[in-house]
Structures are given as structure tokens and as C-alpha cells.
Chain A
Amino acid sequence: MTDTLLAAFALVFDPYVLVVMVAAGAFGLFVGAMPGLTATLATALLVPITFFMEPIPALAAIVSTTAMAIFAGDLPGALLRIPGTPASAAYVDDTYKLTQAGKANLGLGTSLVCAVLGGLVGATILAFTAPLLAEVALSFSTFEYFWLATFGLTCAAFVSTGSPVKGLVSLLLGLFIATIGIDIMAGQPRFTFGSVELMGGVSFIPAMIGMFAVSEVLRWALGTTGGRDQMAKVSQASGSIIRPGLASLRRYKLGAARGSLTGTLIGILPGAGADIAAWVTYAISKKASKEPEKFGTGHVEGLVDAGTANNASLGGAWVPALVFGIPGDSITAIVIGILYMKGMNPGPMVMLNQPELLYAVFLAFFVANLLLLPLGWVAIKSYGQMLKVPREVLMPVILLLCMVGAFAINNTVFGVTVMLVLGVVAFIMEENGFPVAPAILGLVLGSMVERNFMQSMIKADGNLLAFFERPIAAGLGVITLVIWLVVVVSAVRGRRRVPPVLATTPNE
């Protein structure tokens, strides 16, 4: 173990590797900060460059790029309400409202410090338990995934602000959009109206950009935000970034600890990853909080939990990828491809023959997260300048960037159409007090819930009890059902005692 670690240290602390990591980090920050451009895209763009590198610098470059890109996704989220990734969508309303209140530094500083902390904790846990965790990941069958995804959906009940009924309607809308396309169970096209583009389904990046950013541009253009006066308040907040971040961290230590642990655990499950981690921890945080009513209104507490969780989960996906060759997300899928091109077959042979490689990857995560602190600081400082740009100039540019992002995801104009249509839908929803976050959650998790439910039913010959036959599945199932029960009971009770709580819509 010590020998391997030392070997890994030697591999990573090579001047060439470190220079590559800084350059890749800057690149990742840049791509991640562009609204709509994702960490996956950044990784894909790196592929041709990694051809010319040795395996370690190639992997370190990807690690560094993704760690930075996920954090950088918080920047347009906080300043323009365009979450860079579905993972930052969980708390975008909080960071954006902090910015509107002139507290951009508090929001982004918290986000940065939490990302660093989550990343460090995640990398440390993984370095010591990777083989063990890989076993856990491999024991997840469709039954367990079904409950996990359902548990994720349950979070909609907690993340939505305002009226529970409106939140439910929004969630159902997201679930409906998720059913569009060829259903993989029967191979039948659903709601495609003969369009080949719709057969591929509605991908959530354009949908997300549309629902958060385009609706915001519309609201500004139609002046319904209480509009320009409020915008004028958004001054480039000066002063420290790191200090308020550390202060929030100190204040919500428990949340940060919870976030890093939950994030790491959810991260190792192939196909779950940073998105679910962020939403679940945000919901847990709100549930555990003493002031849940402040969530979604510019409160840092949920941000601490979810911000640590999404960076902590990032390294997790590499565990099943390196140990068993099973990609946890699209980034690790690309990584596996690169490894093969380098003549290394991910899988247990890597663990046996080159264990230092695995440790080098986690060490690279560690270093990348340390680098994130100074690089992220620079990014926040320079990104803040954008707020000085007059809105009349900024808003059209944002719309343009959104279109570029929506186009880039599949290189089709169809993505732009999806973005614009859903932007209008989200605008109408928010004007009428329907929160959009549950819809995004439904869109992200809908197909996962459906697929795993159908697969499990086929396996169990339609026997519902099979969902409780496996120990982990039973545990997750019981927890989810108990939460549902609590939600329903408290909703009924609350309704009886006081008149229905008026929806506090994001715009009022």
C-alpha cells in the first residue's frame, strides 16, 4: 500500500503532469463557465489532445478538467440563472437569489469552498476504499436502482418551494417529457409524431437551459421581474470570496459532512452520479434544517450540502469504471475509451498489475481540488465583471450562448427548438407559481425510474414483492415509503389546521 502510494505520488507530482493539470483546469473552468457547455463536452474536446500524452498526464488532464468544470457550472448558475450542469440545478435558485441580493460573493464563495472540500473528502475516501466500494456498486441490480431513483424523485417534495400541488404538477410535467422518444422496453416510439429527432427523446441539457435561462431572459424582456430596478442592485460585489465561504462552511459543518459522505456513496453507483447526489443532499439538508422555509430563496445551507456532494461524487464514478470497466457516466465512458487506446484495459487487471494507476487518479483528484481554490477564485473575480455589462447587452448575449450550448449537445438545431419551447413553458409556469425545479428532476430521473421498474417487473414476472426481496432494495424501499407516508400525513394535518399555505413563488 505505501509503496503503491509512493509510486502514485511520483507519477502525479511530475512537473509535466502538474503543468498539464493547471492548463486542463483552466480549460475546464472556461468550458464549464460557458452556459450550456458541459463537463462531458470538455472531456470529449480533450480526447484528441490526450492521444499525444502518456496515460497518467492524460488521465490527470481529464480529472482536472472535470473537477473544475463542475464547479464552473455554478458560475453562470449564480450570476445568470443558467446552471452549468443538472448537478448545480438543485441549488441554482439559492445562488441566483443571493446574487440578486448583492451577495454574489457569499454564494460563489460558499460554492467554491464546498466544492473543494467535497472533492478532497471524496478523493480521500475513494483512495482507501475503492475496491470495497466497487463491490457495493456491482451488487446494485435494477431493484436497487429503482428505489434509488424513486427516492431521488421523492426529493421533489422537498426541493420545490410553495404549494405542494403545484410542485407535483411540475414534477409530472417533467416525467411526461421524459417519456418522449423510443421506449427501450418495447422499442415503441412515444409522442414522437413521426419525427426522427423526437425519437431520440428530449435531452435534459437543452431542456434545463431553456427552463432556467430562457425563461429568465423572457421575464427580463417582458419586465415582470420587477425587472430592471432589481437588476440594478446586482452590483459586482467586492471584497473577500473565500472568507464568507469558509464562514458558511463553519456554520453548516454538519451539512458539509453529510454532503461529502452521501455524495461519495451515490457517486460510485454507475448511472446515478453527481445529479442525484446534489438533489438528494439538498432535500436532506432542507428536511434537517431549522429554517426549511428559507430554502430556494437565497439561503446558503442547502448550497453547502449539495455543493460538497456534487464534487464529492465526481470521483466516485471512476471506481466502477477503473475496477470493472463499467462506466458510471458519460465522462468515465470516454475515459475508458482513452484507456483502451493507451493499451490499458480497465478492469481488475489494472488493479493487479498497475494499482498505482488507481491511486494516481485519486491523487490527481486531490491535487485538482486544491488547484480549484486559486483557479476558482480567479474565475469568480473575472466572471463577476460580467455583471457590470448593461443588461440590454448581456441578455441577448446570454440567449445566444444558450443557443450555442443547446446546439452543441447533439450538434442539431432541434436542441435549440427544445430549449426555446421549454423556455416559454417554464416562463408561463413560473408566472403562475409553478416551480420549475421539480420538472427538471422529473426529466432527469423519469427514464431511470421507468426503465428500472419495467426491467424489475419482467425479472420478477410481475411480482411486486420482489422489490423487497433483496436486502439493499428492501432497505431503500422502506425508507422511501416511510418518507412518502410522512409527507402525506403532514400535508393532510397541515391542511386541517391552517388554511393552505400560500405559494411563495420565486417572483413575488
Chain B
Amino acid sequence: MLRRTILLGCAAAAVLALGMQRAEAAYPDRPITLIVPWGAGGGTDATARILASLMEPALGQPVNVVNRTGGSGVVGHSAIATAEPDGYTLGIVTVEIGMMHWSGLTDLTYQDYTPLVLYNEDPSGVQVGIDAPWSTIDELLAYVKDNPAGTLKASGTGQGGIWHLALAGMLKTAGMEPDRVPWVPSEGAAPGLQDLVAGGVDVVTCSIPEAQSLIDAGRVKSLAIMASARADNFPDVPTLEEEGIDWRLGAWRGVAGPKGLPEEVVNTLVPLLEQIHASDDFRNFMTDRGYGMVFEGPEGFEAFMAESNESLGSVMKELGMAK
């Protein structure tokens, strides 16, 4: 009995010692991987890289951005969710996490992550070529209504992607069939915009920062944005609400880790990310490129994702895009 107690005590001490040892080596004591589910050069990648570069000096460890692309975001998102929850693999979770499981691509949901911070949200804009005959969103929608279905074509992302949803929702809210303007799936906003300029499609729904360089180039004009307020960079572009169409949709990005991140990790990263978010370096970068800045801590981010998940799901079901 005594022996057993001693043994137990030793074991407990050993476990405690191990635990303490682990606690003593302050997080992080080795490089951190930041997984980006989208390709190099895109908005998610760019914001992740600036975050990583600002995290590095503060953490004293390299933060390596790794692009895990493909599968419409499934591959990267599942890489984040299935990583060891030790704080050394983090990732950028994007709006698609609330869409992919509705369309049956994966079982992953926002509940498979430890949310850290939400840092960006960009509403969709409605872009047409500079020579297009419509100068307001009303004229465009009236044209769609007066002509046979399929007269105009739109693009901006893959089938069932966020910008496809933006277009379908807008048409439906305006009282038309959601597929009255057929969707031409593309690999992202950039190829969609290229096709718009080349005369291949007529409308591209994507966020304004994605279209900014072509808007500046005088090749593309933005007719409306799907937000509750006008964008600071484009004060002349009205919101859909102003035009009497009650429809808003945007893409968002946040930092998260796999489910079950240790408290110590969360307590280290969240204040740091909050500080970075408020820094001039980050702020200037985001506003220069026209990225919308929002901020939520872990609880707020979780609630935000839950809400986003529900509203995307109900819209997708309504539009027949959910399984």
C-alpha cells in the first residue's frame, strides 16, 4: 500500500515536473507555421505575410507563411484544423469555412478551430467594363430584367464561391432568378477581371481591393458595393441598400489555430495580434490596399463565425447551392 502510494506520488511528481518544465519553456521556443489556404499573391496571402512579418520580432521566432492551396480552400483549412494544437501551427481562416460544409465539400466547420482574432472584412463590389452601357446598378439590373436570361455572364471566383453567392443573392433580392446571369467559374478574382477587360464576361463581383488596380487603370468601373456603408477609398460608389436592394455580403479573414490550443498560447497571441492590428505598419498596409479593417477577439470572432455560418447556410439553401 505504502509502496503504491510512493509510486503514485513519484508518478504524480514526474508528471508535474514534466508539466512545469513545459510551462517554463516560454511559448514560442521554435518557429511557427502560418498556413494560408489560398495562393501566393492573393489578398489572404498578402495580409498573412504582413501579419507574420510583424509577429516575428515580437515573438522572437520565425513565422513561416505556407500556402496550402487547392480544393477550393478545403486543403488548407483542413491542414489548420488537423494540425497538432500546440500553437506552432496557426492559419488564416476565411469566409469559405462557413460555405464549404454546406455545399458538401468537407465536414469541417468553424467549430474545428480555436479562434484568435478577426482582422479583415471586405464587401463585394459589382464591377463592369469601363465601356459598358450601364452607369448605375439600377440600369444594370433593369437590363438584366428586360433581356432574356443568360444575356449577360458574370465571373469572379469558382462555382459556389463567395462572389458567386454575392451575385446570386443580389439578383434574388432584386426580384429575379438567382441564375439569370449565369456564372462563369474562374480561378479567382484576377482571372475573372482579366476576362472582363478582354470582353469575355460582362459583370465581375469581387471585393473592391481586388479590382482596384484595374479601376485605377480606367478599365473597370464599380457600380455598387454590398455593404451597409460606402468604402473610404471609393466614396462615389453607392451601396446596394441606398439603391433599395437590401443585400450585403463580404469576405472575411481571421487568425485561428486547431481546436484546443493551450490557454498560454491564446494568451500570448491575442494581445500581440491586437497590438499589431492597431500598429501604424499594419493599418497603413491595409488602408493603402483598400482592405477593410475590423477587429474581434476570440469570443467575438467565434460569435461572428457562428453568425456568418448561419446566414451563408440559409442563403445557399435558398439559392439552391447547398446540398
Residues of A within 8 A of B (CB): 40, 44, 47-48, 51, 138-144, 181-182, 184-187, 189, 196-197, 199-201, 203, 270-271, 324-327, 330, 332-337, 340-341, 343, 345-349, 410-412, 451, 454-456, 458-459, 461, 470
Contacts and interface: CB of A to CB of B under 8 A. Distances in A.
Nearest to A343: B288
Interface string B68-98: 1111101100110000000000000000000
Interface residues of B, number: 57
Nearest to A200: B70
A154 to B, nearest CB: 23
A44 B65 CA distance: 9
A187 B288 contact: no
A340 B159 contact: no
Interface string B56-76: 100000000010111110110
27 contacts: A48-B56, A139-B198, A140-B198, A141-B199, A182-B71, A182-B74, A182-B105, A187-B158, A196-B74, A199-B71, A201-B71, A324-B217, A327-B41, A330-B39, A333-B42, A340-B46, A341-B50, A348-B217, A349-B216, A411-B33, A455-B155, A455-B186, A456-B200, A458-B182, A458-B183, A458-B184, A459-B200
A367 B103 CA distance: 51
B293 to A, nearest CB: 15
Given A196-B71, A199-B75, A348 B285 contact: no
A451 B217 contact: no
Nearest to A184: B158
B213 A337 contact: no
B71 A181 contact: yes
Contacts of A455: 155, 184-186, 195, 200
A47 B49 contact: yes
Contacts of B103: 187
B185 A196 contact: no
Nearest to A350: B213
Contact of B75 (A44, A142, A197): A197
B45 interface: yes
A184 B159 contact: yes
B53 interface: yes
B201 interface: yes
Given A187-B160, A324-B213, A345-B212, A334 B200 contact: no
A401 B281 CA distance: 39
B185 A184 contact: yes
Given A412-B68, A455-B155, 6 more contacts: A189-B71, A200-B71, A203-B70, A326-B194, A327-B190, A345-B212
Interface of B: 33, 39-42, 45-46, 49-50, 53, 56, 66, 68-72, 74-75, 78-79, 103, 105-106, 150, 153, 155, 158-160, 182-187, 190-191, 193-195, 197-201, 212-214, 216-219, 284-285, 288-289
A184 B78 contact: no
B41 A324 contact: no
Contacts of B198: 138-141, 144
Contacts of A184: 72, 158-159, 185-187
A267 B287 CA distance: 33
A203 B67 CA distance: 13
A45 to B, nearest CB: 10
Given A333-B39, A340-B289, A345-B213, A185 B199 contact: no
Contact of A181 (B53, B70, B155, B182): B70
